[in-house]
Amino acid sequence: MREPRTDGEPERLHRLEQRPRLVGLPAHAGALRRHNLALVLAEIARGEGASRAQIASVTRLTRGTVSALVDTLLSAGLVVEGGPNRGSVGRPGNALRLNAEGPVGLGIEINVDYVATALLDFTGRARSVRIVAGDNRAAAPQAVLGRSVHMAQQMVAESLTESSKIVGIGVAVPGLVSSEGVLRRAPNLPGWESVAVAETVESMLAMPVEITLVDNEANLAALAEHWYANADVGDDFVRVSGEVGVGAGIVIGGELWRGVNGLSGELGHVTVDPQGPQCSCGGRGCLEQVAGQEALLREAGATMPAGTALGVPDGPISALVARAKRGDEQTLAALRRAGAALGIALSSLVNVLDVPTIVLGGLYADVAPWISDEVSRELHARAIGYHDAGVRLLVSQLGAEAAVRGAAGLVIRRIIDNPSLVADHLAR
C-alpha cells in the first residue's frame, strides 16, 4: 500500500490550476527537492542527449546533486542513459534521454458519437490509439464513462508490457470543465451537467493511477498540436476545433490559457450575426449557428444528421468534402458563408489576444481548401494587427485524433513539470 504523502501534494491530482513556470535556477537551502528534480528532467526532456556534467553546468547544481537526481529518474524508469555524447566538448559523458519504453500516459476522449483511447510514452510516441463509434447523446454519463474505462483497461492489458506502468489518465470531454475535473455542461451531450468525471473515472478503474486530469477537448487538441505535431505553430496560437460544436484552444507563451474559471475558448458562442438563428446558449447568431456542422449541412442541402469524422467516417463530413470536390454550388456557397463567419469570429479573438497564428482543426481542417480564402479575407479586413505583423492561417496536422493524444500528453507533461508526483512510487 502506498504511504500517504507528507510533502503537501494532494493524494490525487485532479486540478488544472495554472502552474508557475520553472525558473532556470536551482533551488537553494530550504527549497523543495522536487524543484531540482524537475529542473534536471526538464533539461533531459529537451531531447539533446545531455550528460550529467552538462546538466550540472546548465542548472548550476553540483555534479553530486545532479547524479543523485538522475539516479532517482533512472530508478523510476522516466529516463535512460545511453552511450557517450559525442557532440560534447572534452571527455564525453553518457547521454540521458526520456525513456520511450518506460511509463505511459493514458488518454480517453468522450465525444458525441465515439470514444477514443490512447497510450503515449514519454517521448510523445503513440503506443496505441483506438476508436469505438457509438452515439453517446442518449446515454447516461455513468454508462458512457463505464464503457470508456472498460475500453481503456482492455487496451492497457493488450498493449503494455510489465515494464511499462500507467502514471496517470487524462480525459477529454466536449464541454465546460471546472478546475476540479467536473464537467459543468456539454451542449451536445444532453444530461451531462455537473458530472464529476475525474472522481467517477477513478472509482471505475481497476488499476492505481497517481494523476487524473480532465479538460475540454478543444484545449487538449491545441496542446497536442503544440507538443507533437506542428513546429510552425510557435508558442502563441489559437486552434479552432469544428466537430458537431465549435471550440477553440488558446495557447499563450507555450501554455494553455484557460481563463479564471477554466472556461475560455467558447468561440462557438461568439456572435457573428446579431439577427441570426437562436442558439442553445440563449444568444442569437452565434458562430456555431452560422458555421457549425449542422448549419453547414442545412445550408448545403445535405439531409443527414451531424456527426464527427471518427464517429461516422463515411458520414456528413466526408459527404461535404465529396460535394465540394464535385463543385456542387450550393455546398460551395455554404462553405464560403461559413468561412466568412469563422473569419469574423477569429478576427475578434485576434484583436483581443494579439495572437499571430490560427490553426484550423476538426471539420475546418477537412474543408480548409474551400474556407481558407474567406477566413483570410475577413482577418485581413478586421484584424487590427494583420497588416503590421500578419496573421498566419495553418491547417492541423494531427487530424481527428488530436484531443485524445492531448489527453494522454497532458499527464506526461504534468509529470515532466513535477516528476516528484510519481518518481518515488515508480522507483524499482
Mean pLDDT of the chain: 87
Residue 68 pLDDT = 94
CB proximity list for 57: less than 8 A, separation 6 or greater: none
Which pLDDT band holds residue 27 (cuts at 50, 70, 90)? very low
CB proximity list for 233: less than 8 A, separation 6 or greater: 225, 226, 239, 251, 357, 359, 394
Residue 331 pLDDT = 97
Cross-strand bridge partners of residue 80: 97
CB proximity list for 423: less than 8 A, separation 6 or greater: 37, 72, 73, 75, 76, 78
Which pLDDT band holds residue 9 (cuts at 50, 70, 90)? very low
Q: Determine the distance from the C-alpha atom of residue 380 to the mean position of all C-alpha atoms in its chain, rounded to a whole number.
A: 29
Domain(s) labelled CATH 3.30.420.40 in the chain stretch across 104-219+404-414, 231-396
CB 62 within 8 A of CB 52: no
Is residue 86 scored above 80 in pLDDT? no
Ordered alpha helix ranges (H), 4-160 = 33-45, 52-59, 63-75, 141-159
Is residue 259 scored above 90 in pLDDT? no
Say how far apart CA 212 and CA 210 lie, in whole Å.
Answer: 7
Q: Determine the distance from the C-alpha atom of residue 280 to the mean position of all C-alpha atoms in its chain, rounded to a whole number.
A: 26
Is residue 216 scored above 50 in pLDDT? yes
Residue 264 pLDDT = 87
pLDDT 10s digits, 322-334: 999 999 999 999 9
pLDDT 10s digits, 174-194: 999 987 889 999 988 999 999
pLDDT 10s digits, 92-127: 679 999 999 999 999 999 999 999 999 999 999 999
Average pLDDT over residues 356-384: 95
Is residue 292 scored above 70 in pLDDT? yes
CB 55 within 8 A of CB 62: no
Is residue 266 scored above 80 in pLDDT? yes
CB proximity list for 190: less than 8 A, separation 6 or greater: 137, 138
Say how far apart CA 13 and CA 16 lie, in whole Å.
Answer: 9
Which pLDDT band holds residue 400 (cuts at 50, 70, 90)? confident
* Residue 236: CA count within 13 A, CB half-sphere: 10
Domain(s) labelled CATH 1.10.10.10 in the chain stretch across 33-99
pLDDT 10s digits, 132-147: 999 999 999 999 999 9
* The CATH number fitting domain 231-396, selected from 3.20.20.80, 3.30.420.40, 3.40.50.10540, 3.50.50.60: 3.30.420.40
Report the percentage of the chain scoring pLDDT > 90: 69
Amino acid at 377: R
Report the percentage of the chain scoring pLDDT > 70: 89
Name the residue with higher pLDDT: 352 or 29: 352
Q: Which string of DSSP letters, residue by residue, matches 77-120?
A: TSEEEEEE-TTSSSSPPEEEEE-TTS-EEEEEEEETTEEEEEEE
Look at residues 209, 201, 211, 206 and name the one whose alpha carbon lies nearest to residue 16.
Answer: 211
Q: Which helix (H) or strand (E) holds 215?
A: strand 211-216
CB 394 within 8 A of CB 98: no
* The CATH number fitting domain 104-219+404-414, selected from 3.30.420.270, 3.40.50.300, 3.30.420.40, 3.40.50.1240: 3.30.420.40
Q: Quickly name the fold that domain 33-99 has.
A: Arc Repressor Mutant, subunit A (1.10.10)
Residue 22 pLDDT = 52
